[in-house]
A and B are shown apart, each in its own frame.
Chain A
Amino acid sequence: MLKVKNLTKKYKDFVAVNNISFTINKGEIVGLLGPNGAGKSTTIKSIIGLLRIDSGQILINQKDHTSIDAKREFAYIPEFPNLYDQLSIWEHIEFIAKAYGKKDYEDIALDYLKRFDLIDKKDELTTELSKGMKQKLSIICNLVIDPKIYFFDEPMIGLDPKAIKTLKNLLIELKDKGKSIFISTHLLDSIEHICDQILVMKNGSIITRGSLEELKGTQKISLEELFLQVTKDE
């Protein structure tokens, strides 16, 4: 579903992402972990075409990642939900559905609004919403698109525990439907048991990769302990 080959992204002389390669298969959840400044957001933004890559190749479902065809295949949920001030919740959903050419999305959208406790606020402008509510709307907009692969960049920040639980359940449902998910987060325990593969980044490079079992080996430790172990400075 996603093929990243020798991706390098520089900001002038600073190498933010250094020659990384990985693939995500259909129906796979891949967690992208790393300390602050490791290059996680830059990696995601480069893949979805918000940032220009310096070298490498990125294919989303066999299509060049900046092409319009590729954009139909993915959804992106950013860390900070930036929405239009003068559109209501429902108008955002309508706009996104139109932009992605989705028909008969209303029932699905209403269902998501119920699950994220936003149904009563569906006609309110986003200026009336809290940060957590905006994040929920940002997630719903992208769920309505129903793409083949989702890119989540710290989606749980600002969400209440119930919404985090809902999102976790949704991730599993999406995986069961054959959707691929690439998720970057610092809330390690929230993805510990749902990831098929974990990539750990540091200083722009992938320093460790594999399934949770492979990474832990014979050690009986949590993902958090594993993370601290692999990212600690020599």
Chain B
Amino acid sequence: MNKLRILIDKDIHQVKNYLKSFNNNRKKLIPVVFYILWFYFMFKSQTDNNFYSVNYFKNFSFGILTFLLIISLINIYFERTSYFNMADVNLLFTAPIDSKLVLIYAIFKTSWKQMLAALFMFVFLSPSLINAGIQFPRLLIGVLAYVLFIFAIEPIGFIVSQLSKKYDLKILLSGLVISLLVMVSIPMILLKSPVEGIQSNYMNYVPIIGWSRGIFMGMFQIDSFFFLYIFAMVVFNVLINLYIIKTSDNYYEDVITATENKEKYSSKKKQGKASLNISFNFNKNKNIRIKGDYQGAKAFHWKNKLKAIREDFHYLFGVQTLLFLIISVAMVFVKGYKNIEIPYPIMYMWATAIILYIYTLFSLNAGGEDELEMHFFYLIPENNIKKIIALNQLNFQRMAINSVAFFIIPIIIDFRNFISYLLLFLVFNSVYWMIKYAYVLVKSIFRNETDFTFMLPLIKVFQLLLVILPSVIGGFIGAAFSEVTKLNPEFIVLSSVFTINLVAVLLILVLADTIINRIEL
């Protein structure tokens, strides 16, 4: 008990010091204010929302639970699921404190943090739920569903990490994912509709995700199954935690790598530099030789080529290209199958916007090119314009090929709108260039590393503006011009967006010297 007190005291000190640090550095308050404002506006928009159907909440809860599980599996794959930090490894693991006590306390601490996150989410969701006719005490059922879910998936990560020391991690995760896919597919196949499958009560039989969804939906209607789901989740949680405690005599080695990875990842995340870099490493052990002379700045292009060959089918195309092609084929197929009346160019315009939106979101989370964080990028004696071009040359080439894969299908079946697809292709690529260069600009404007960390949310909003502003300006100019000239508005707007983006990119290249010289490491 005395040792537990020591652990609690340590964390109380940490929380106190964290709160005090706001007083010592007022800049730290900026993101807090930003988050409060953001939360307020999101909360307000939920309050103003109209009624959502029960099916909406069925889909929403299933979607969010599946998403959280996928994130958890990704973290397990990258070995960054850990209850601990590196200070625990060095100071706590070697101290004369029972390893089981250390683990139980760490599980409790993690769960407590998750409880706070659950409450935050439900405060945020409560207006929509109240609009849907859910009264306050029943909101707690939703909180319970989330808490039981989180309590279940955290230990799964720990157990998989432990088992991965004996068995192949990829096989373990594949087993988990395949069993989950099979279970989720059964209701969809039985009802011959993915949407109806998700909304059906059969989906509630899927362990963890389904049971939690079943509890969540208890906010709307409580039946005997509701208690069964709670029972199943509680039993699962108790069993999985008992298993951990029983087998956790000698777990230190199992958690060290994951703890190191988690710490590196969260440190990068705090600085807005955590990339999602999912690579397939198709040619991991292949001895790769690239012909040609890549001197000076071209060395970056050579390095990117090498990396691309190692990770993908070919240095110019790969898994993403295939994905673009599949999406394009699926769109054409769905349009034909469901008799959707939207014209192809409009459909592809929306798809382009959605894909660019996703890219922008990832780029905001992932920061920029890794080279910008490395000293050699600045020290290599070469012209900055050449360096900045070489840095992204392969990315741009690959994206051009990806977008060809995306637009080739509509061009073939709807050739009369070739110009529209060509313009969409140009807009797609020019916005992508801006996505890549916006981070360089942001690094150059917000130079102080400490300020960069403190004001990250605001900086990310600024980065987003840098990406979308040229397109918005181009769009307005194009719309006004087509109004005056009575020319095809679609053609004029897309041309203007591309032109403004191109001008912005050229401006960045012309000013590359000034921009790069301003960046501090």
Interchain CB contact under 8 A, A100 and B95: yes
Whether B332 is near chain A, meaning CB under 8 Å from some CB there, is no
Interchain CB contact under 8 A, B97 and A138: no
Least CB distance, A146 to chain B, in whole angstroms:
13
Contact of A138 among B18, B90, B250 (CB under 8 A): B90
Which residues of B are found within 8 Å of A68, using beta-carbon distances?
96-98
Q: Which of A54-87 contact B (CB under 8 A)?
A: 66, 68-69, 71-72, 74-76, 78, 80-87
A142 to B332, CA, bound (A): 67
Q: Which of A94-127 contact B (CB under 8 A)?
A: 95-96, 98-101, 125
Chain B: interface secondary structure?
A: helix
The size bracket of the interface on B is: 20 to 34
Whether B21 is near chain A, meaning CB under 8 Å from some CB there, is yes
Whether A141 is near chain B, meaning CB under 8 Å from some CB there, is yes
A99 to B88, CA, bound (A): 12
Which residues of B are found within 8 Å of A98, using beta-carbon distances?
6, 9
Least CB distance, B176 to chain A, in whole angstroms:
21
Whether A51 is near chain B, meaning CB under 8 Å from some CB there, is yes
Interchain CB contact under 8 A, B98 and A76: no
Interchain CB contact under 8 A, A141 and B21: no
Interchain CB contact under 8 A, A86 and B13: yes
Whether A91 is near chain B, meaning CB under 8 Å from some CB there, is yes
Whether A35 is near chain B, meaning CB under 8 Å from some CB there, is no
A71 to B92, CA, bound (A): 11
Q: Which residue of B lies closest to A82 (CB)?
A: B86
Which residues of A are found within 8 Å of B293, using beta-carbon distances?
none
Q: Which of B47-104 contact A (CB under 8 A)?
A: 85-87, 89-98
Which residues of B are found within 8 Å of A88, using beta-carbon distances?
17
Q: Which of B414-428 contact A (CB under 8 A)?
A: none
A48 to B91, CA, bound (A): 12
Q: Which has the most chain B C-beta neighbours within 10 Å: A48, A51, A80, A85?
A: A85
Contact of A50 among B10, B93, B96, B97 (CB under 8 A): B93
- The proximity string for A residues 128-140 relative to B, scoring 1 for CB distances below 8 Å and 0 otherwise, is 0000000000100
Q: Which residue of B lies closest to A86 (CB)?
A: B14
Interchain CB contact under 8 A, B14 and A76: no
Interchain CB contact under 8 A, A86 and B17: yes
- A99-B92, A99-B95 given; A51·B253 CB < 8 A: yes
Interchain CB contact under 8 A, A50 and B91: no
A139 to B10, CA, bound (A): 19
A88 to B20, CA, bound (A): 12
Which residues of B are found within 8 Å of A27, using beta-carbon distances?
none
A174 to B89, CA, bound (A): 25
- A68-B98, A71-B95, A100-B96 given; A87·B17 CB < 8 A: yes
Which residues of A are found within 8 Å of B447, using beta-carbon distances?
none
Interchain CB contact under 8 A, A91 and B13: yes
Q: Which of B89-128 contact A (CB under 8 A)?
A: 89-98
A72 to B17, CA, bound (A): 29
- The proximity string for B residues 254-279 relative to A, scoring 1 for CB distances below 8 Å and 0 otherwise, is 00100000010000000000000000
Whether A158 is near chain B, meaning CB under 8 Å from some CB there, is no
Which residues of A are found within 8 Å of B89, using beta-carbon distances?
50, 82
A138 to B86, CA, bound (A): 13
Number of A residues near B (Cβ < 8 Å) is 34
Interchain CB contact under 8 A, B3 and A99: yes
Interchain CB contact under 8 A, B250 and A52: yes
A1 to B14, CA, bound (A): 36
Least CB distance, A89 to chain B, in whole angstroms:
12
Interchain CB contact under 8 A, A82 and B87: yes
Interchain CB contact under 8 A, A76 and B17: no
Q: Which has the most chain A C-beta neighbours within 10 Å: B14, B90, B252?
A: B90
Least CB distance, B106 to chain A, in whole angstroms:
14
Whether B15 is near chain A, meaning CB under 8 Å from some CB there, is yes
Which residues of A are found within 8 Å of B253, using beta-carbon distances?
50-52
Which residues of A are found within 8 Å of B86, using beta-carbon distances?
80, 82
Contact of B95 among A78, A85, A96 (CB under 8 A): A96
A96 to B9, CA, bound (A): 12
A141 to B95, CA, bound (A): 11
Which residues of A are found within 8 Å of B91, using beta-carbon distances?
82-84, 92, 95-96, 99, 141
Contact of A71 among B14, B17, B87, B96 (CB under 8 A): B96
Interchain CB contact under 8 A, B94 and A49: yes
A141 to B87, CA, bound (A): 12
A52 to B165, CA, bound (A): 11
- A68-B98, A72-B96, A99-B97 given; A50·B18 CB < 8 A: no
Least CB distance, A155 to chain B, in whole angstroms:
13
Interchain CB contact under 8 A, A76 and B90: yes
Q: Which residue of B lies closest to A68 (CB)?
A: B96
Which residues of A are found within 8 Å of B93, using beta-carbon distances?
49-50
Which residues of A are found within 8 Å of B87, using beta-carbon distances?
82-85
Q: Which of B381-397 contact A (CB under 8 A)?
A: none
- A68-B98, A100-B95 given; A125·B90 CB < 8 A: no
A96 to B87, CA, bound (A): 12
Contact of A87 among B13, B95, B96 (CB under 8 A): B13
Which residues of A are found within 8 Å of B13, using beta-carbon distances?
86-87, 91, 95
A234 to B48, CA, bound (A): 78
Q: Which residue of B lies closest to A50 (CB)?
A: B252
A12 to B67, CA, bound (A): 33
A95 to B8, CA, bound (A): 10
Interchain CB contact under 8 A, A95 and B10: yes
- The proximity string for A residues 178-202 relative to B, scoring 1 for CB distances below 8 Å and 0 otherwise, is 0000000000000000000000000
Q: List 16 A-B contacts (CB under 8 A).
A: A50-B93, A68-B98, A69-B96, A72-B96, A76-B94, A82-B85, A82-B263, A83-B90, A84-B10, A84-B91, A86-B15, A95-B91, A99-B3, A99-B91, A99-B92, A100-B95
Residues of chain A touching chain B, judged by Cβ–Cβ distance below 8 Å, are 48-52, 66, 68-69, 71-72, 74-76, 78, 80-88, 91-92, 95-96, 98-101, 125, 138, 141
The 8 closest A-B pairs by CB, nearest first: A82-B86, A86-B14, A71-B96, A99-B95, A86-B17, A84-B87, A98-B6, A72-B96
Residues of chain B touching chain A, judged by Cβ–Cβ distance below 8 Å, are 3, 6, 9-10, 13-15, 17-18, 21, 85-87, 89-98, 250, 252-253, 256, 263
